[in-house]
Amino acid sequence: MKKPLMKVKAPGAEHQKNGNSRRKFIKMGGLAVAGSSLLLYSCSDDDDMMNPEPVGEVFDLGSGDVGILNYAYALEQLEAAFYTRVLDGSYWAGASAEEKLVLEDLYDHEVIHREFFKAAITGAAGADKTLPELEFDFSGVDFGDRDSVLGTARVLEDTGVAAYNGAGKLIQNPDYLVIAGKIVSVEARHASAIRSIYLESDTAFAGDDVIDANGLDLAKDPQTILTEVGGTGFIKTEFTANNLPTG
């Protein structure tokens, strides 16, 4: 079965904010937008699961819980890199106080999530099984334009919620499942916040496009999410997802 190989450009330095006490809690170590599709495809080889990745080979997310953690780590890297660019952009510099606070909080949380997954995967499987730092290309986003920034943020946050919801059933370790449940609740708060400040509707925070007829969030499997994210063109570093569990 063919599965996606993502092409993902180097993230810039972390955004530095002056005099904001909110930055202190980041020091807790240890713990679809339009775009050209850059998805490639490769066939899975059973032998690949038994042999470590040769130096210089395209990284595969892996199998089992480690694969799912790497999958989540890729998405958190994307979100953290995006909000880093947002807080360095001219739209944020001139945004309302409310919008600035929302975007700062989203930046804080996504950086924490990213660093958590990096530490968790490295601790559980080793650095060689941990997805490397990805490179991104946000040239399609105008960071001086409110619609471009908030529209992209809405897509990323809605995608993140659906991704965690779809991956939950694939996680075997109950400790990881509990953590994923806690993170998806935060991602849902992010999605609601962005929708509330961006979309002109009193019910946009839980719109029919993200909540089904049973009152439940949408859930999408990893391959669907990777295809949608690949379509944005944001991720430039190549990696494969040949061995992710499918449920």
pLDDT for 74-117, tens place per residue? 999 999 999 999 999 999 999 999 999 999 999 999 999 999 99
Q: Is residue 25 part of a domain?
A: no
Q: Are 225 and 159 a contacting pair, CB within 8 Å?
A: yes
Q: Is the pLDDT of residue 168 over 80?
A: yes
CATH number, domain with residue 158: 1.20.1260.10
From residue 86, alpha-carbon distances to 48, 109, 111, 136 in Å are 38, 14, 13, 14
Q: Is the pLDDT of residue 28 over 80?
A: no
Q: Is residue 58 part of a domain?
A: yes
Q: Is residue 22 part of a domain?
A: no
* Number of domains into which the chain is organized: 1
Model pLDDT, residue 43:
31
Q: Is residue 31 part of a domain?
A: no
Q: Which of 189, 133, 200, 160 is nearest to 32 (CA)?
A: 160
Q: State the CB neighbour count (10 A cutoff) for residue 120.
A: 21
Q: Is residue 191 part of a domain?
A: yes
Q: Is residue 49 part of a domain?
A: yes
Phi/psi class of residue 217: alpha, beta or left (left: φ > 0; alpha: ψ in -120 to 50)?
beta
pTM, two decimal places: 0.78
Q: Which of 39, 114, 56 is nearest to 84 (CA)?
A: 114
Q: Is the pLDDT of residue 226 over 80?
A: yes
Q: Is the pLDDT of residue 171 over 70?
A: yes
Q: Residue 169 phi/psi, 5° resolution?
A: -70, -15
Model pLDDT, residue 75:
97
